[in-house]
């Protein structure tokens, strides 16, 4: 068992071992460019919901494209009677995403069901996350220190950016339990794909079907792009998208 940080009660860590993606799936998604549009189309084909647009979850690093297994965090506004100023004076920090970094496996993506109007994760935390092998974070709510995380190459997809810290205002209530981001349920172990266009959440039990369909569509798209570049008439472009 990993040594805990003590930032959250051990019983609030719902899962010590997060399920891993089926063998080879992560590599196959990387091979088609971690393309959220392609994955979203495949999920539509199988009637599976699970997309979040980049217009809402805005990426902090243009061109970043990642895939990995979800490690989850759930925050809520603190119910403490102390004011944020009083908590700051006594150093009562309720945030515990550091323990999620500690629990994560290399290649994971942090998913935070956070609090709006303030930061749920900042620059030092992103540095620690990167050191632990986390490839990026999806955050419902604010983040801060964007210049710092950009400098170290740690991408966020977040709904807000705010300098106001959550340390004295937020409590982390659960790690590696189910979370929900704007109607999309995410379980620890779900496969996250994120790029400039948005975020997709793939249930691992359907991953092979989804990725196989996306691979077929990617191969067709490669042919179509080549034909367009060569001046082929639009009526003669190869193939058709599957219905």
Q: What is the pLDDT of residues 188-199, one digit of tens each?
A: 999 999 999 999
> In this structure, are residues 81 and 93 in contact, taking their beta carbons and an 8 Å threshold?
no
At 240, the pLDDT band (50, 70, 90 cuts) reads low
Domain ranges of the chain: 10-39+49-203
Average pLDDT of the chain to the nearest whole number:
95
CATH superfamily of 10-39+49-203: Ribonuclease E inhibitor RraA/RraA-like (3.50.30.40)
Feature table: binding site: 144-145
At 237, the pLDDT band (50, 70, 90 cuts) reads confident
20-32 as b/e: b if 16+ CB within 10 A: ebeeebbebbeeb
The pLDDT of residue 241 is above 50:
no
Q: What is the pLDDT of residues 198-225, one digit of tens each?
A: 999 999 999 999 999 999 999 998 888 8
Q: What is the pLDDT of residues 78-103, one digit of tens each?
A: 988 889 999 999 999 999 999 999 99
Q: Quote the pLDDT of residue 81.
A: 84
Q: Quote the pLDDT of residue 71.
A: 98
Q: Quote the pLDDT of residue 242.
A: 44
The pLDDT of residue 239 is above 50:
yes
H or E segment at 129? helix 123-131
Q: Quote the pLDDT of residue 16.
A: 87
CA distances from 231 to 159, 224, 226, 227 (A): 41, 11, 9, 6
The pLDDT of residue 70 is above 90:
yes
Feature table: binding site for substrate: 144
CA distances from 117 to 22, 141, 160, 183, 209 (A): 37, 7, 7, 19, 38
Q: Quote the pLDDT of residue 243.
A: 39
Feature table: binding site for Mg(2+): 145
**Backbone region of residue 165 per phi and psi (left: phi > 0; alpha: psi in -120 to 50; beta: other values):** beta
Residue that wins the pLDDT comparison between 65 and 79: 65
Phi, psi at 206, each rounded to 5°: -115, 10
Beta strands in the chain, from DSSP E residues, in sequence order: 51-53, 58-59, 66-77, 109-113, 136-143, 156-161, 170-175, 179-181, 184-186, 191-194, 198-202
* Alpha-carbon gap, residue 156 to 81, rounded angstroms: 32
Q: Quote the pLDDT of residue 225.
A: 87
> In this structure, are residues 141 and 159 in contact, taking their beta carbons and an 8 Å threshold?
yes
């Amino acid at each position: 068992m990993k040594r805990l940080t003590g930032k959250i009660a051990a019983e609030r860590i719902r899962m010590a071992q997060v399920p891993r993606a089926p063998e080879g799936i992560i590599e196959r998604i990387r091979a088609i460019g971690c393309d959220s549009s392609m994955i979203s189309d495949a999920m539509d084909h199988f009637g599976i919901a699970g997309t979040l647009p980049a217009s809402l979850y805005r990426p902090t690093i243009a061109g970043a494209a990642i895939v990995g297994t979800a490690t989850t965090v759930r925050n809520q506004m603190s119910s403490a009677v102390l004011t944020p100023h009083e908590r700051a004076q006594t150093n009562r920090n309720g945030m515990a995403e550091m323990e999620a970094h500690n629990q994560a496996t290399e290649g994971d993506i942090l998913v935070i069901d956070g609090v709006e109007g303030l930061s749920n994760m900042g620059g030092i935390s992103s540095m620690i996350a990167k050191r632990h092998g986390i490839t990026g974070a999806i955050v419902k709510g604010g983040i801060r220190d964007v210049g710092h995380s950009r400098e170290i190459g740690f991408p966020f997809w977040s709904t807000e950016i705010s300098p106001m810290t959550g340390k004295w205002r937020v409590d982390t209530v659960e790690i590696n339990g189910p979370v929900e981001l704007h109607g999309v349920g995410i379980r620890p172990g779900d496969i996250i794909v994120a790029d400039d266009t948005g975020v997709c959440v793939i249930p691992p039990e359907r991953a092979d079907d989804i990725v196989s369909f996306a691979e077929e569509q990617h191969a067709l798209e490669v042919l179509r792009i080549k034909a367009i570049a060569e001046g082929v008439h639009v009526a003669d472009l190869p193939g058709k998208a599957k219905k």
